[in-house]
A = this chain, B = another copy of it.
Amino acid sequence: MSRADAVDVPDDGARRTPDRLRRRASRLLSQLTMRSDRLVNEGLARVDARKWHYAVLASLQEHGPGSQAELSRRSGIYRSDMVGVLNELAERDLVERGPDPEDRRRNVITISDRGRRRLRRLDKVLDDLHDELLAPLSPAERDQFVQLTTRLLDHHTRTS
């Protein structure tokens, strides 16, 4: 099948992580995600961005302006943390925060031209980073991988 889960395997140099541990999907996932997160965070930090920036900008570009709460829902960022993110984006003039004429208790967030340019740049950066992340896989395998994880994630979000 996979490897030698036979009895008498002399794994001298391999004397590392126990197999039962290494094989567990949950561990593979968290280890890999740690690497992936680091890769992405560092990559984005190099261009003075954070993944939240991308998430919010993408959401604005794709679904148009929205209130903070709505952006929060669309991007998966907690509304508690949204404030800070929007501050960072506003500082950089990537986004404009204005009061909603129709509902004075909320702000409407709009993407700016700079924001749109920024988003294009970040998309490029992320493409490169993902190329690095998925380097060992062939195009077909990358698709497979994305497909499988998508299915898993979907299942667990619906069954939440």
Interface residues of A (CB under 8 A from B): 2, 15-26, 28-33, 35-37, 39-40, 51, 54-55, 58-59, 61-63, 73-76, 102, 123, 126, 129-130, 133-137, 141-146, 148-157, 160
Contacts and interface: CB of A to CB of B under 8 A. Distances in A.
A32 B137 contact: no
Given A20-B58, A20-B123, A133 B33 contact: no
A61 B18 contact: yes
A146 B152 CA distance: 13
Contacts of A32: 29, 33, 149, 152-153, 156
Given A29-B36, A59-B21, A102-B2, A148 B137 contact: yes
Contacts of A58: 18, 20-21
A154 B150 CA distance: 22
A111 B160 CA distance: 37
A152 B133 contact: yes
A127 B142 CA distance: 27
Contacts of A61: 18
B153 A28 contact: yes
A62 B133 CA distance: 31
A133 to B, nearest CB: 6
Residue of A37, A137, A153 contacting most chain B CB atoms (<10 Å):
A153
A148 to B, nearest CB: 5
